[in-house]
Chains A and B, each alone.
Chain A
């Protein structure tokens, strides 16, 4: 059974810092890995999807990397802003329905 772990559970940084969020998964036979953002009381917003054949994917200040063999992904956020404050979740599809298995998330606070 696929298990997804995210470290750290919470992170607080001053505005302008570059930061890295970590995600690990136990079964390396994944199709892709997806990073989401969740604001309090809101649904999930897809940030990046990395296919299993890719090593990284970039969108603006966000860069996600994937190392399938070691079962790890990182989300790099450059020049963090208070508006980046949210919970960040990583997820991998598993099962015949390719339903997503989620990590428990990293709660990020960027202080102005």
Chain B
């Protein structure tokens, strides 16, 4: 079956612009995670959605970052007023609750000039 998909695959933007990154999880997966992978920081957790529960936003680095998940499926990560330090690969993962294994998408490579 189809895996986790993310779009766009690459995004170049200017400092100060807003960007939206999209994630389509595996069908039926109720848990969805966003991570960020940057040079020197490795992979870090950003936000977690589980079903209709309030998201766990404990990993978001600043209030410029937000995310939503509509209908328990597609998720959008929004970065407002982008900064150069936001340049990274943004990875989305989904899982079946109780199965633990997280399946990752190919990522969105964001470059802020």
Contact = CB atoms under 8 A, between A and B. Distances in A.
A31 B99 CA distance: 11
A84 B105 CA distance: 20
Interface residues of B, number: 23
Q: Main secondary structure on chain A at its contact with chain B?
A: strand
B101 A97 contact: no
B100 to A, nearest CB: 5
B100 A97 contact: no
A45 B104 contact: yes
A98 B103 CA distance: 14
Interface of A: 31-32, 34, 36, 41-46, 49, 51, 89, 91, 93, 95-105
B43 A97 contact: no
Interface of B: 4, 6, 33, 35, 42-43, 45, 48, 50, 56, 58-59, 91, 93, 100-107, 109
Given A97-B48, A99-B59, A43 B43 contact: no
B91 A46 contact: no
Contact of A97 (B6, B50, B106): B50
Given A43-B105, A45-B104, A46-B101, A102 B42 contact: yes
A103 B33 CA distance: 18
Contacts of B93: 44, 100
B58 A46 contact: no
B100 A32 contact: yes
Given A46-B102, A101-B45, 20 more contacts: A32-B100, A34-B101, A34-B102, A36-B104, A42-B106, A43-B91, A43-B106, A43-B107, A46-B104, A49-B100, A49-B101, A97-B33, A97-B50, A97-B56, A97-B58, A99-B48, A99-B59, A100-B43, A100-B45, A105-B42
